Amino acid sequence: MKKIAFINCFFGKTWPDYFDYFLKGCEYNPTIDFYIFTNIAPKYKIKNVHFIKFDLQKFNEMATEKLKISVNVKDAYKLCDFKPLYGEILQEYISKYDFWGYCDVDLMFGNIRAFVTHDMLNEYDVISPVDKYPAGFFTLYRNTPFINKIFRLSKDFKKIVQSDRHFCFDECNFEFNTVQTQDIQYIDSEIESMALLLRKLEISNKIRYFHADMAQEFLHSRNAHIWRDGNIYDLITEKHYLLIHFINIKGLPTFHIEKYTKTEVNKREVFYISPQFLGRDLKRKFNFQLFISPYQKKVRNFMSKTYAIALKRPYAFPFIEDTPYRSANQEIFFYKKSEKSVIMLTSTSTLDNYMYSEIFLYQIKENHYFCWNKIDKIQYFAKFHYLKGEEKAYKIEIEDLNLTERGTMYLMNK
């Protein structure tokens, strides 16, 4: 049996609520090892989950030594760009394995070996459970010198490593929408991402690259999935999945996570997963959330809007003029118009053509704003993220007033 190890670097103050469910999925894949590099104390011992005491400073030191390039990661989210580099940076931890991979913790595993089979491991060098790009939440690499150094083939490698900005290098440089209809080779991306590198190597027969949809990456419908004794499947269609990713629901106030409690030894375990609920007692919690959620949204929206608009506080302009941000495959520029509003220019599919809109900003609290496009009647909340000592927000998170849709913009100045 081929030996597999997954790596995750998680730096913060506490484990997220869904982390127990991530560990449960790991535990039910006993033939695979998971290495979690973290500054947080382990929750409890699981035989195949290895917690390695680590922090950003130690990561920077090790990355600088292994890559022979000065590395100074300031924000843990930037580590997404370093995921394809783990095979070289952290090689001493995974040298005994045939394959290594990276995974996120905001997910629950099903039966990994049922999807990543012995034949697949013999045949392929890189394995992604997403068809159009290597998934940032789960991708496997054959543990050989050539495969481990693929990232060095990018002409933008040094720029990516030394910049504070997040480029989505591990996936497709934020071209998530475009790659659905176009081959990554023909997309005018800002950088050579891993999606582009792997595609080039695949068509030139230099690597054997498996990429097919095997995971449930986004949850939208109210239909529930079930996790039973290490297997995940749709409750209605009974379609099986490698894993379920909580990426689009984990931060929503309407997503209820039941506190995990260990069961008796040898007792069968069942969990339900839906956009509203994660836990054992589907009926009680699921129905409660469906009932209470609309009222939670209305109360929160009304209070936030009323608070922000009633105070009418002058805001500190949170943007830098003429500095672009990027959201998916769009470029966005902001210009201050008045003490309450900014002009937003958003790129369109037509070259050098931008959509114009005026956004009124009302400050709720530091770095949090209520935003209102009065003409189009669009309202949403925005949260600005800054690196220490920086005046430019490197990331802007937006969320609509129904708290069901979210988006992120990234600074493009570096």
Let me know: does 11 contact 56? Beta carbons within 8 Å: yes
**How many H-runs (helices) and E-runs (strands) does the chain carry?**
10, 23
Please work out, in degrees rounded to the nearest 5, the angle formed at the alpha carbon of residue 151 by the alpha carbons of 147 and 155.
Answer: 135
* Euclidean distance between CA atoms 380 and 331, whole angstroms: 19
Let me know: does 347 contact 331? Beta carbons within 8 Å: yes
- The conformational region for residue 401 under phi > 0 = left, psi -120 to 50 = alpha, else beta, is alpha
In the chain, how long is the greatest CA-to-CA distance? 65
Let me know: does 379 contact 370? Beta carbons within 8 Å: yes
Tokens of 12: 């913060």
Give SS3 for 154: coil
* Euclidean distance between CA atoms 89 and 65, whole angstroms: 8
How far, rounded to the nearest angstrom, does the alpha carbon of residue 405 sit from its chain's CA centroid? 15
Q: Specify the amino acid at residue 220.
A: H
* pTM attached to this predicted model: 0.80
Tokens of 196: 């582009």
Q: What is the pLDDT of residues 299-335, one digit of tens each?
A: 555 665 666 555 555 555 666 666 778 776 678 888 8
Q: What is the pLDDT of residues 122-155, one digit of tens each?
A: 999 999 999 999 999 999 999 999 999 999 999 9
Question: On the CB side of 397, how many CA atoms lie within 13 Å of its CA?
Answer: 12
Beta strands (DSSP E) in 229-367 are 231-234, 240-241, 243-245, 256-257, 270-273, 277-279, 325-327, 330-336, 341-347, 354-365
- Tens of pLDDT, residue by residue, the chain (414 residues): 999 999 999 999 999 999 999 999 999 999 999 999 999 999 888 999 999 999 999 999 999 999 999 999 988 989 999 999 999 999 999 999 999 999 999 999 999 999 999 999 999 999 999 999 999 999 999 999 999 999 999 999 999 999 988 899 999 998 988 999 999 999 998 999 999 999 999 999 999 999 999 999 888 766 789 999 999 999 888 899 999 999 888 877 778 899 888 765 556 889 999 888 899 876 545 454 444 455 555 555 566 566 655 555 555 566 666 677 877 667 888 888 887 788 888 876 555 567 888 888 888 777 888 888 877 778 888 888 887 777 778 788 887 766 556 678 877 754
Give SS3 for 65: helix
Q: Which helix (H) or strand (E) holds 38?
A: strand 32-38
Domains of the chain (ranges, CATH numbers): 4-211 (3.90.550), 225-311 (no CATH), 325-411 (2.40.128)
